[in-house]
Amino acid sequence: MTGRTAGAKMGGILTLNAGSSSLKFALFGPAGEAPLATGLADRIGLQGSLRLKDSAGAALPVAPGSLTSHAQALHCVLDSLHAAFPGIGVGAVGHRVVHGGPERATHALVDAALLDDLATLSPFAPLHQPHNLAGIRAAIEAFPEAPQVACFDTAFHRSHPWVNDTYGLPRQLYDLGVRRYGFHGLSYDYIAGELARSAPALAQGRVVIAHLGNGASLCGLLAGRSIASTMGFSPLDGLPMGTRPGQLDPGVMLFLMDQQGMSPQDISDLLYKQSGLLGLSGLSNDMRTLEASPAPEAAQAIEYFTARIRLEIGSMAAALGGIDALVFSGGIGENSALVRAKVCAGMGWLGIEIDTLANEAHARVVSAAGAATDVLVVPTNEELVIARATRALAGGGERTAA
């Protein structure tokens, strides 16, 4: 990986987006918004796989390498891109960083001080932040002359009113940073922009976005700005996820510590790695596997997942004073007709009704004709948000999150 530097002839933009079990990446040219190549290292671990395709969708060769960890997957990604595009130098690298802290509402050029500051936030997002920062350090090693830009998932939510940003705890804890941060901000940023472009009247209204994947959350937008989010102090809160429980009575934690003798590390492993769809089903954290399984536990996990989404849609509607549109996005939201149907079932009281055929066809608009609330499926593009911010900051500009 050493010896690759920013290219003098053509400075491309490389984006890296490390999730809890995946690594998305894209290579953009120095101008334009269509990537030259995109890829995904999926199901990182013993069943890891790497896919890379060019701008026409044709598969590109994948360099040999291990995908048992995020760090190894990143090495394999960089090797594959370098082999596929040896004549394109990387002019800048943009990184998804899950946690930007309580005040940071803009994305930022990376320096040593910023890296140190972001490392202090790792306890708030231990499943993501260390992977994000490891990606930055590896990219600095691989491309020492290229500017590195950190794009924060929390920045988009800094427009929350105070009542949606705090907990009922002593105020000094809020001052120490114990507050509701919200996450998945890059995804919500993209969808807000896409709605403003394609449906400007709708974008000015009350929109609930369901970002559903291995990590899952809802965000309530009012005129394109984040008002409320289901995720809070950490990416554990809100909806159940692949391996995380979502909303949980804090008394459960006291019981596990006091009565079951669980250590902080035991509880961390339980909350981040053993709960959610995986814990409920006893089978898998992957919705594709659960939908294909005949096991009753798999069906129960899906029922709980969709029931919690319905409840939280109601809470978002309350925060917004109503709802004009529901948008599904993320890996599950974009690809699971079953989940969309179950979420929307019985939601007529909010004007949500879907067209079964349109939903099964994965149409962009899946709401029934005449329904009071629009229901859309909008594929997210966090990589493009990162590329735009990276290009702006590497060129000397400033990019706000909202």
Residue 186 · residue 96 · CB < 8 Å? yes
Q: Which residues on adjacent β-strands are paired with residue 367?
A: 354
φ, ψ of residue 27 to 5 degrees: the values are -120, 120
Q: Is 57 exposed, middle or buried, given 0-12, 13-18 or 19+ CB atoms closer than 10 A?
A: exposed
3-state secondary structure of 210: strand
Amino acid 351 reads G
Helix (H) or strand (E) holding 13: strand 11-18
How far is the C-alpha of 253 from the C-alpha of 270, rounded, in Å? 10
DSSP string, 152-207: ETTGGGGG--GGGT--SS-HHHHHTT-S-----HHHHHHHHHHHHHH-HHHHTSEE
CA torsion sign for 16, 196, 188, 186 is positive
Distances (CA, A) of 380 to 61, 174, 236, 276, 335: 25, 32, 21, 23, 12
Q: Which residues on adjacent β-strands are paired with residue 42?
A: 49
Q: Is 130 exposed, middle or buried, given 0-12, 13-18 or 19+ CB atoms closer than 10 A?
A: middle
Tokens of 151: 């794009």
353: left (phi over 0), alpha (psi -120 to 50) or beta: beta
State in Å, rounded, how far the first CA of the chain is from the last one.
35
φ, ψ of residue 103 to 5 degrees: the values are -115, -15
Which sequence positions are flagged as catalytic? 153
How far is the C-alpha of 132 from the C-alpha of 152, rounded, in Å? 10
Q: C-alpha angle with apex 9: 4 to 14, nearest 5 degrees? A: 50
Alpha helices in 205-295 (DSSP H): 250-258, 264-273, 276-281, 287-292
